[in-house]
């Protein structure tokens, strides 16, 4: 709304920007630790920690090391961890290891919930860490990802994680109908409290490279791509369609991924559906800011907080970010 009778000098917007106290009083969006979800990479073994070269400051950790990270997150007020496994053996064409009840992820979930019951734990429901080809599903002889066969495996994976005690399952595969199938299976098996955060608008983005390095799927994927199931970066209306489907099928929360290049999509989703909406500040976004900060081209702390606040301004209720620990520390003190 334009107030015609508030022309300069009656209106001096800089008056309210002059001092810190008045800037704080009129601040429209406030970032807190409550807005952060910390993605972590877990691997087999004990006393193991491997740096991810393309993601400075990020490591793959064995469970014993991860417990210290979880404790830090809890102390900083971060509500939830998102687990991503590094599967070093047992990969196959059909991703059978994805629903092994004694596999890496179920064991980590059980231990985290036993040690830190108040810390939320979310698991990735997708098959790419478990396949020899690096795709997010079961493929045919031409390399095409089979939708309905993959959904059956995803159902088994989600049930496996729910049985281990996970709080949130997050299907990131972009198969059609998988939210409805997973919700029906969870209900049928009595897991009525297990929440679903659907990667509803996951784009076939070039910003995922460092993540694929971290989980070890990059080499398996090779020169193949994921355009037949992840969304075209040129599309916005399609994202609203995908989210409508997932909500109708039983999603509790929805996600837009990547984050910063898709702030317009986040805003449209929140305006249209008014449901819990999350963004993923993906590995490429993180790596760019870290590289610029380490080279002295940008103020890393300031840009980190500005970028996370931008997600809030766009309408996100929370953000998955590799900056979570650093951001929570910065906000605390």
Binding residues for Mg(2+): 242
> Residues 65, 202, 226, 290: which is the catalytic one?
202
The total of other beta-carbon atoms located within 10 Å of residue 144's CB is: 13
* Residue carrying the six token digits 């309408």: 315
Q: For residues 269 and 255, give the distance between their C-alpha atoms in angstroms, rounded to a whole number.
A: 9
Residue with tokens 């355009």: 227
Instruction: State the CB neighbour count (10 A cutoff) for residue 268.
Output: 20
- Of the listed 65, 91, 226, 257, which one is catalytic? 257
328 contacts 74 by C-beta, under 8 angstroms? no
- Residue 269 tokens read as 């989703």
Maximal CA-CA distance, the chain: 72
Strand partners, 195: 168
Answer yes or no: 202 catalytic: yes
List of long-range contacts for 43-48, beta carbons under 8 Å, 24+ apart: 43/85, 43/86, 43/88, 43/104, 44/86, 44/88, 44/104
Q: For residue 188, how many other CB atoms are within 10 A of its CB?
A: 9
Q: State the Cα–Cα distance between residues 262 and 266, nearest whole angstrom.
A: 7
- 51: enclosing H helix or E strand: strand 49-51
Q: Residue 244 gets which letter from DSSP?
A: H
User: In terms of C-beta density within 10 A (0-12 exposed, 13-18 middle, 19 or more buried), how is residue 94 classed?
Assistant: middle
Q: Which two tokens stand for residue 266?
A: 């986040």
Per DSSP, the three-state class of 141 is: coil
d(C-alpha 162, C-alpha 308), whole Å: 30
Q: Give Cβ neighbours of residue 202 (< 8 Å, ≥ 6 apart).
A: 172, 174, 230, 231, 255, 257
Catalytic residue list: 202, 257
């Amino acid at each position: 709304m334009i107030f015609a009778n508030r022309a300069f000098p009656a209106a001096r917007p800089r008056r309210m920007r002059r001092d810190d106290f008045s800037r704080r009083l009129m601040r429209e969006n406030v970032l807190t630790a409550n807005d952060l979800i910390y993605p972590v990479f877990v691997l087999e073994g004990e006393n193991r920690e491997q740096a991810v070269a393309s993601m400075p400051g990020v490591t793959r950790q064995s469970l014993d090391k991860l417990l210290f990270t979880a404790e830090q997150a809890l102390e900083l007020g971060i509500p939830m961890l998102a687990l991503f496994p590094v599967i070093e053996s047992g990969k196959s064409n059909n991703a059978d290891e994805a629903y092994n009840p004694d596999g890496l992820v179920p064991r980590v979930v059980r231990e985290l919930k036993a040690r830190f019951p108040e810390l939320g734990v979310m698991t990735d429901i997708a098959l790419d860490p478990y396949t020899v080809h690096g795709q997010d599903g079961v493929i045919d002889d031409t390399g095409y990802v089979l939708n309905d066969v993959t959904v059956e495996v995803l159902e088994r994976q989600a049930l496996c994680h729910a049985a281990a005690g996970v709080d949130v399952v997050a299907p990131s595969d972009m198969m059609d109908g998988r939210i409805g199938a997973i919700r029906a299976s969870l209900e049928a098996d009595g897991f009525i409290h297990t929440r679903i955060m659907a990667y509803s608008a996951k784009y076939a983005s070039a910003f995922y490279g460092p993540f694929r390095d971290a989980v070890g799927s990059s080499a398996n994927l090779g020169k193949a791509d994921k355009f037949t199931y992840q969304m075209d970066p040129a599309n916005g209306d399609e994202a609203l369609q995908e989210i409508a489907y997932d909500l109708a099928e039983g999603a509790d929360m929805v996600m837009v991924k990547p984050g910063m290049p898709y702030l317009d999509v986040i805003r449209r989703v929140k305006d249209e559906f008014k449901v819990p909406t999350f963004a993923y500040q993906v590995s490429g976004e993180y790596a760019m800011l870290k590289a610029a900060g380490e080279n002295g081209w940008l103020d890393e702390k300031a840009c980190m907080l500005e970028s996370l606040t931008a997600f809030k301004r766009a309408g996100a209720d929370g953000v998955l970010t590799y900056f979570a620990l650093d951001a929570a520390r910065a906000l605390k003190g």
